[in-house]
Structure 1
Amino acid sequence: MTPRQRVFIGSNTPEGILAFDWDPATAELKKVEVAAKLANVDWIVYSHDRKHIYAASEVDSFNGKPTGEVASYSVQNDKLTQISGQNSAARGTCYAGLDHTGRVLLSADYGGGASASFKITDGKLSAAVWTEHYKGSGPVADRQEAAHAHFTSFSPDNRFAYVNDLGSDCIHIYKLNADTAELTSAGKWEAKPGSGPRTLHFHPNGTTAYCMNELASAVDVLHWNRADGSFKTITRFELNPDRSKPTSTGCDTVITKDGRFVYFANRGDDFIYACSADPKTGALTAIGKTPSGGKTPRNFVLDPTERWMLVANQSSSNLAVYARNPQTGALAAQGKSYDCPSPMCILFP
């Protein structure tokens, strides 16, 4: 009998973090409980040893200050206990990324256009060590009226940190001191005007990265320069090339462990785009689109077996589950659906 796994869901509701049980044999999800009440959780991430979880709370005020919150929890017997909570740099904290050493957390504040770093000791977060408030804008008036930090990530060798700024059409590049959690500016990569760079994911080959551009509904395939942490644009992969739906926006990226397949989520027309990838170069070849199983896919993940794809559909408040063919990378045309209030992030152990 296959043991069930505890899966945590970040929910953009007052309930915060929800606990589900996952059965990989049947692809069934069952809600168990509210694991932690933290308002408007947009993102959760495990520590590398799975003993702690870090969360980003997209609120406009915390501790009497106009910021969001980053929080940490100990994980024991599938139960969460909060052990720290700190002010982010600005309001609307939508993401928190963990560096490869597990000693640095880097947050992104969409509403306030800022970022902050935190040092981690035994799962507890320090007060912000470093912060930056961005200035800038872009040509899409209703979405790029100001800077909007959306995502943080780290280079494969952990020497550099990155902050995607959707509002200013760029990725900010920093040198990282993992011992102190200090960041030092090292330039930026600039996207095409109006692209809205939302997320950045590195391919397992260690030299390719994919920048998901929300507003352009397209992915920039980048070459990473190990020497200085910079990027060079190789090509652009269009998710909706005819641009027949102006409300169509790119969202997130999933890469298989072996690097042979890459998946992209798109919203407005709500689909998952499957691609094969050259393991050496990261070059993409389209496989096909599958409906996301709901409205506004916010986040999607492969389960640990990589036999199932789970999609968090924010606006329709459901989790969709699709079978995946590990040989071809194709997703099943139809999947299962489970109720979940405003799911934002799916976290497997």
Structure 2
Amino acid sequence: MGANTGVRAFIGSFTSAGGLGITVADVDGNTGELSVLASTDVLADPSFLAVGRAPGAGAPVLYAVSEVSDGAAAAFDIGGGGAPALIGEPRPVEGDGPTHLDVRGGHLFTANYGSGSVTTLPLRHDGSPGPAAGVLRHAGGGPDPARQATPHAHQVLAAPSGDWVLSVDLGTDSVRVCALDPGTGSLRTHSEAVLRPGTGPRHLAFHPAGGHLYVLNELEPTVTVCRWDAVTGLLEPMGEAPVLPHGADDGGDPVRAYPSEVVVSHDGRFLWTANRGHDSISVLALDETAEKPVLVAAVGCGGRWPRDLALDPTGQWLYAANERSGNVSWFSLDAETGMPSPEGSIDVPAASCVVFA
């Protein structure tokens, strides 16, 4: 018999590809199973989601980007039992194609892939975003003429300490560390960690101990290990590790992989990546130094083109949003080996992101 833990999953999708927008599902605490409750398509292409709290009441709020050319961000009330309800109106981000967002200190930040910029939007008392307070524009490029002719900010993430905001740019092969003004939410580039040219960094994840982070590269199936100093705001690349077995990605069609998301276990012992094209989830073991990920295995993702990977709040279940097969699959995790075992799947057309609240 299922266990209703009160935790719900929120799944983003591309409405332009037949997606339902934002889908809400109950999470069974015993099995990890998802049961769809409702959906809303009031926002176009809500490809990435984040959960924050309204500055006033402190109620949980769901935030979403609208990944369109004239990008926007929106807030949703998730306190009811049905579909998320818009709070206010979607707010322009003054950027092209926002692909990621994060919430920190009463501000919402979006990474705008098309325009290579990061936008700050202040949050109002009810949690809705106000007009853009600032846009930090990246500069530079990389050696891949098709993907790196211009900057492409792909992720923006506040550091656990809250003092810094990091932006990952696929076009410039770098991660910018930005100083955050807590009053205005404005961002200023403080330092820039330059990665190996042509790797195309996409997303990063912090180690729970706080001294390291892992940058997943999209243009090469590798993860770059970095030391992180939360006091000085400096990021130091230490080396790379493969996320796929040798020969699994030879740069040609149809086997070329485009890694999309990286997740670190709550205990800091394992790292998982989602690999589009190869359609797999990679398992990497981390030692006590946290600096030497070792590839253990790559298992099927339960679908095609896994765009996102997410741990549930307990760390027992791993979920893959498989965009091209239109489903979200879930896996139980072996606590000793980190190996995922497939447990089930639900249909979610053009699925792109999973978050929990």
> Does residue 339 in structure 1 map to residue 344 in structure 2?
no
Q: CA deviation at 1:310?
A: 1.0
- The percentage of aligned residue pairs carrying the same residue is 29
Letter of the 2:39 partner, please give it.
Answer: V
Residue 95 of structure 1 contacts residue 107 of structure 1 at CA under 8 Å; is this kept in 2?
Answer: yes
Range with bigger deviation, 197-206 or 335-344: 335-344
User: Which aligned pairs between 1:90-239 and structure 2 lie closer than 5 A?
Assistant: 90-99=95-104, 101=105, 103-122=106-125, 123-239=127-243
After TM superposition, the score normalised by the length of structure 2 is: 0.90
Partner of 2:93: 88
Contact 1:293 1:335 in 2 (8 A): no
SS of 1:320's equivalent in the other structure is: strand
Mapped partners of 1:89, 1:223: distance in 2: 33
Q: What is the TM-score normalised by the length of structure 1?
A: 0.92
Is the 8 Å Cα contact of residues 89 and 133 (structure 1) preserved in structure 2?
A: no
Kindly provide the CA deviation profile for residues 170-227 of structure 1, in whole angstroms up to 9, marking residues without a partner as x: 1122111122201112121111111111012111111101011110111000001233
Please point out which of 268, 271, 293 is paired with 1:262: 271
184-193 vs 130-139, which deviates more?
130-139
AA aligned opposite 2:12: G
The offset of 1:24, in angstroms, is: 2.8
| Residue number in structure 1 paired with 2:73 | 70
For residues 275 and 282 of structure 2, the distance between their equivalents in structure 1, rounded to whole angstroms, comes to 8
1:273-300 alpha-carbon deviations (Å, 9 max, x no partner): 1122235535323321111111111111
SS of the residue aligned with 1:300? strand
| Residue in 2 that maps onto 1:328 | 337
Question: How many residues in Structure 1 have an aligned counterpart in Structure 2?
Answer: 340
Tell me, in whole angstroms, the C-alpha distance in 1 between the residues paired with 2:34 and 2:159.
34
CA distance in structure 2 between the aligned counterparts of 1:45 and 1:282, rounded to whole angstroms: 28
The residue number in structure 2 matching 1:291 is 300
Q: Report whether the alignment pairs 1:2 with 2:3.
A: yes
**CA-based RMSD:** 1.8
Secondary structure, aligned partner of 2:313: coil
Q: Determine which structure has greater relative contact order: mean sequence separation of CA pairs < 8 Å that are 6+ residues apart, divided by chain length.
A: 2
Counterpart amino acid of residue 288 in structure 1? A
Indicate if the aligned counterparts of 1:224 and 1:231 stay in contact, CA closer than 8 A.
yes
- How far the C-alpha of 1:329 sits from its partner, in A, is 1.2
| TM superposition outliers: structure 1 runs of 4+ over 6 Å | none
Moved more, 211-220 or 297-306: 297-306
Asked if structure 1 preserves the Cα contact closer than 8 Å seen for 2:15 and 2:41, the reply is no
Alignment of 1:249 onto 2:258: yes
Does the Cα contact within 8 Å between 1:89 and 1:114 map onto a contact in 2?
no
**SS in structure 2 of the partner of residue 72 of structure 1:** strand
Give 5+ residue unaligned stretches, structure 1.
61-66
